Amino acid sequence: MQNRVAFVTGASRGIGKACALALAGAGARVALAARQRDKLEEVAAEIRSKSGEAYVVELDLASDDSIKNAFTTTAKEFGRIDILVNNAGITRDGLALRMKKDDWNAVIETNLTGSFRAIQQVLQGMMRERWGRIINISSVVGEAGNAGQANYAAAKAGLIGLTKSMAQEMASRQITVNAVAPGFIETDMTNSLGAEVKEKVLQSIPLRRLGTAEDVAAAVRFLASEEAGFITGHVLAVNGGMYM
């Protein structure tokens, strides 16, 4: 992965941060994108402290202008983008009966439409180079569903359909498109779960532990590598066996 250029959305914390660190560790030059610049600067400093190369760019996936600007400035900085990791996402949970239209739209717009727009920004460059890796971070919820998350599950399931369609469109140009579907991962969100809820979650996971952001990042790093060149249109589950 030496000198490949990776663009990671939602890179300021959690899974996105772990992906950025893993790709940088494998030799990629990494563009870190999210809304919070100060948090991105911290991740960039960590990468640079290990002699890696990092570029910070503000990105709001709900804004067309922000998306275009982020990818244009990154391509100018690095010359091209070889690897795209679509990780950024939001939640607006609630039962479908009472879900507001704004909560539905916000999640679909950011998690699904924003990811599609990001893909559009990198396609021409990848086609020119005849090499590319696009990795969409879906979720076990996109495969199995989850009560109270109709909007989030629909967006994550949509990412899987998008992955498979793009894989078919781009294969002749040696661009692979895959998805990673994490299960319950230790994050700020899961840390706030009560002991009883956490225990119930653990009972649903055959490996009897929550995943780590690094578990997901390892899968992303592999799919972004030369070794994964014959894998496309695949959904790699990183869920401890909770959904098979």
Whether residue 89 is contained in a domain is answered as yes
Residue ranges of the chain with per-residue pLDDT less than 70: 189
Identify the active-site residue in 55, 78, 131, 152. 152
Whether residue 120 is contained in a domain is answered as yes
Taking the C-alpha atoms of residue 105 and residue 184, their distance in angstroms, rounded to an integer, is 24
Q: What is the CATH number of the domain that holds 117?
A: 3.40.50.720
Whether residue 242 is contained in a domain is answered as no
Radius of gyration (Cα) for the chain, nearest Å?
Answer: 17
| Model confidence pTM above 0.85 | yes
Cβ atoms within 10 A of the Cβ of 30, count? 30
- Burial status of residue 99 (CB atoms within 10 A of its CB: 0-12, 13-18, 19 or more): middle
Whether residue 243 is contained in a domain is answered as no
Q: Give the pLDDT score at 97.
A: 97
Whether residue 107 is contained in a domain is answered as yes
Q: Give the pLDDT score at 133.
A: 98
Q: Is 55 a catalytic residue?
A: no
Whether residue 90 is contained in a domain is answered as yes
Place of tokens 């190369």: 53
Q: Which domain holds residue 119?
A: 5-237
Whether residue 97 is contained in a domain is answered as yes
Place of tokens 């020119």: 128
Whether residue 229 is contained in a domain is answered as yes
Q: Which of 75, 91, 83 is nearest to 192 (CA)?
A: 91
Q: What is the pLDDT of residues 94-120, one digit of tens each?
A: 999 999 999 999 999 999 999 999 999
Q: Give the pLDDT score at 192.
A: 72
Taking the C-alpha atoms of residue 94 and residue 103, their distance in angstroms, rounded to an integer, is 9
The amino acid occupying position 47 is I
What domain count does the chain have? 1
